[in-house]
Structure 1
Amino acid sequence: MDTQFQIIEKENIADLKFPHSEILNDDKAIDQRTTELKRALSLGNLEHSKIQIYFEDEFSKKMVETTVWALTDESVVLKKGVGIPINRIVKIT
């Protein structure tokens, strides 16, 4: 695990504040993130598999291990409607 990222429970994500700026500055990395998100959605819906989402809020880097329930144009939707803005996600494993 990457020690730069603080582990957070999905229930606490709703309390975070997210800047509107894109965290990735490379089109190839953004395309890779989109591919990883679609894969995570499939794993969540078909196998109920948990994945790790590495992201940044307004203060620090965080990681949550969870199941992806849905994707919108702007957010990854987790259980109980909790969302993480896609533009703040660094990577998915």
Structure 2
Amino acid sequence: MNTDFEIIEKENIQTLKFPHVEVLEDDNAINQRKTELERALSLGNLEHSKIQIFFEDEQSKKMVETTVWALTDESVVLKKGVGIPINRILKIA
């Protein structure tokens, strides 16, 4: 899946702009994303494992390899408080 995605460092995410529009179209995909995020949070907290987050900002599709530190209702929180809006995440691997 990562052939169309630009790799970005987590430190550069805070400079991106994110539209408020949901990137996933169906409820099953949205529910699957929620399950994947909860799993990524567990992996980050228990095993300090890095995961790949595929997301879309206002310009293009991007991928970051990082550890998930926390989840809020609206965003995934990475190290140093960097966040990615959940509604902009396409896939977690």
Q: Normalising TM by the smaller chain, what interval?
A: over 0.9
CA distance in 2, matches of 1:52, 1:87: 16
CA distance in 2, matches of 1:26, 1:67: 26
Structure 1: gaps of 5 or more residues = none
TM-score after normalising by structure 1: 0.99
1:56-75 equivalence runs, <5 A: 56-75=56-75
Percent identity over the alignment is 83
TM-score after normalising by structure 2: 0.99
1:23-42 equivalence runs, <5 A: 23-42=23-42
Q: Secondary structure at the match of 1:40?
A: helix
Which letter does structure 2 place at the counterpart of 1:64? V
Deviation string, structure 1 residues 32-51 (Cα, Å, up to 9, x no partner): 00000000000000000000
Q: Quote the RMSD (CA, aligned, Å).
A: 0.6
- The Cα of 1:3 is off from its aligned counterpart by 1.1
CA distance in 1, matches of 2:59, 2:3: 16
Deviation string, structure 1 residues 13-48 (Cα, Å, up to 9, x no partner): 000000000000110000000000000000000000
